[in-house]
Amino acid sequence: MTATRTSARSRRVDSGGLRWRELDWVLLGAVVVLGAVGCVLVWSATVHRDDLTGGDPRAFLAKQLVNLGIGVGLMALVAATDHRWVRILAPVAYGASVVGLVLVLVMGTTINGSRSWLMLGGLSLQPAELAKLAVIVGMALVVAERSEGRWRDRVGTVDVVLMLTVAAVPAVLILAQPDLGTMLVLSATVFGVIAASGAHRRWLVVLAGSGVLVAVFAVATGFLEQYQVDRFLAFTDPGRDPRGAGYNVEQARIAVGNGGLFGQGLFDGSQTGSGFVPEQHTDFVFTVAGEELGLVGAAFLIALLGIVLWRALRIATRTDDVFGRIAAAGIACWFGFQAFQNIGMCVGIMPVTGVPLPFVSYGGSSMFAGMLAVGLLQNIHLRTLSAPASRMQPAQRVLVRG
């Protein structure tokens, strides 16, 4: 009887049906709460900013609620998609992300020194956010396709070279924008995917060493823009230019420090209400939590992000599907490093690079990419639940049904 029910569940997954009861509700709950908290923090960061809202204090709240709603819809769509179609559409998603990055360089809009945005009517799209997920599924697909029917599990040199090639095309286009923050997140994600694929440790050493050499070369040859160099110098010494490159870091640290244990109260933050922290509803939204909700509220936000990472890694370790394992691990690396980078720059332990806090910062592109990734995690989770039945021999299933 148990095997019969499991077989039925497998058929529903293969036909693309979404089994709501068997979703990873811990993951879904953490993501939805993060999104809801993010809406409130964005509202608080903009409610006093008439220069941003045009006199409508709920303008950004309404937009972020729409972003969250669309994101949840995209998540449900990917979770309900037949796993075979997920693999078929992976190259399409990768190709679309590359096309988007090319269009940014041709007809994109420059904001804060980076040509990263496509303006489509009244909407703005940042293809680099979607490229993170596209690179993950592209690399996972390379390993999965090459591992099927192979007598050994070890990922070889050709596999690693192909994975790096998949990542290199978007990386070059992102560097050309230039978007250093996204490039750092993408680099950490690629490193994590290669580690999760089972590649030999020497590849990890080579990649880490290459990253250091590239960073030194970029600084020594003047490849980085001057404002990017100034940000790194301000990170090492925030007091050297408190009204210039170090202003963001200094104001962010003041805001977080003002919060104390329980915060100044929602909508009552002194730095937030005065608009002293630049880009507070996007890159520096964590400072709103730190100032108005205090250490307790900020810790709650970090705990929710930790739950998302835990469930992603749990999904990665429980699946026997190569594509699912690598994709889930890559998503965990992406969310983990981006959250660390964002929170780190708000408290002064990482340089300012302009990356959003997953599911919390204002913006449609980041929300959509993150929710698509969560949908893929749910898809892998549901597929894993049906795997025992799919691995049974046909004769066994007949005997059980009989």
In tens digits, what is the pLDDT along the chain, a chain of 402 residues? 444 444 444 444 444 456 778 899 999 999 999 999 999 999 999 998 888 888 888 999 999 999 999 999 999 999 998 878 888 888 999 999 999 999 998 887 877 767 788 887 777 889 999 999 999 999 999 998 877 655 455 678 888 999 999 999 999 999 888 888 888 899 999 999 999 888 888 888 888 888 778 767 766 666 666 666 666 766 666 666 666 667 888 888 899 999 999 999 999 999 988 888 888 999 999 999 999 999 999 999 999 999 999 999 999 999 988 899 999 999 999 999 999 999 999 988 888 888 999 999 999 999 999 999 999 999 999 988 776 544 433 333 333 333
Residue 26 lies in a domain: no
Residue 24 lies in a domain: no
The alpha carbon of 243 is separated from its chain's Cα centroid by a whole number of angstroms, namely 31
The residues pairing with 120 across neighbouring beta strands, listed in sequence order, are 123
Split into its structural domains, the chain has a count of 1
> Whose CA is closest to 325, among 368, 372, 381?
381
Cα(369)–Cα(32) distance, integer angstroms: 15
User: pLDDT at position 337, please?
Assistant: 96
Answer whether 229's CB lies under 8 Å from 219's CB: yes
φ/ψ of 2, rounded to 5, equals -60, -45
Residue 20 lies in a domain: no
Query: Which letter, b or e, does each residue of 63-73 get, where b requires 16 or more Cβ atoms within 10 Å of its Cβ?
Result: bbbebbeebbe
The CA distances from residue 340 to 212, 273, 304, 309, 336, in Å, are: 19, 25, 13, 12, 6
φ/ψ of 114, rounded to 5, equals -125, 130
Within 13 A of 138's CA, how many CA atoms are on the CB side? 26
114-120 sheet: strands from edge to edge: 109-111, 114-120, 123-125
The parent domain of residue 341 ranges over 32-385
DSSP element (H, E) containing 192: helix 180-197
Cis peptide before 178 (omega within 30 of 0): yes
Cα(25)–Cα(189) distance, integer angstroms: 25
Residues ≥6 apart with Cβ < 8 Å to 326: 136, 139, 140, 143, 144, 193, 196, 197, 316
Residue 401 lies in a domain: no
User: pLDDT at position 400, please?
Assistant: 32
- Per-residue HEC secondary structure of 109-138 comes to EEECCEEEEEEECCEEECHHHHHHHHHHHH
- Global confidence as pTM: 0.88
User: pLDDT at position 8, please?
Assistant: 47
Residue 380 lies in a domain: yes
DSSP output for 203-231: HHHHHHHHHHHHHHHHHHTT-S-HHHHHH
Residue 264 lies in a domain: yes
User: pLDDT at position 330, please?
Assistant: 96
User: pLDDT at position 95, please?
Assistant: 92
Residue 400 lies in a domain: no
The residues pairing with 267 across neighbouring beta strands, listed in sequence order, are none
Write down the residue that tokens 């496509």 correspond to.
Answer: 118
Residue 175 lies in a domain: yes
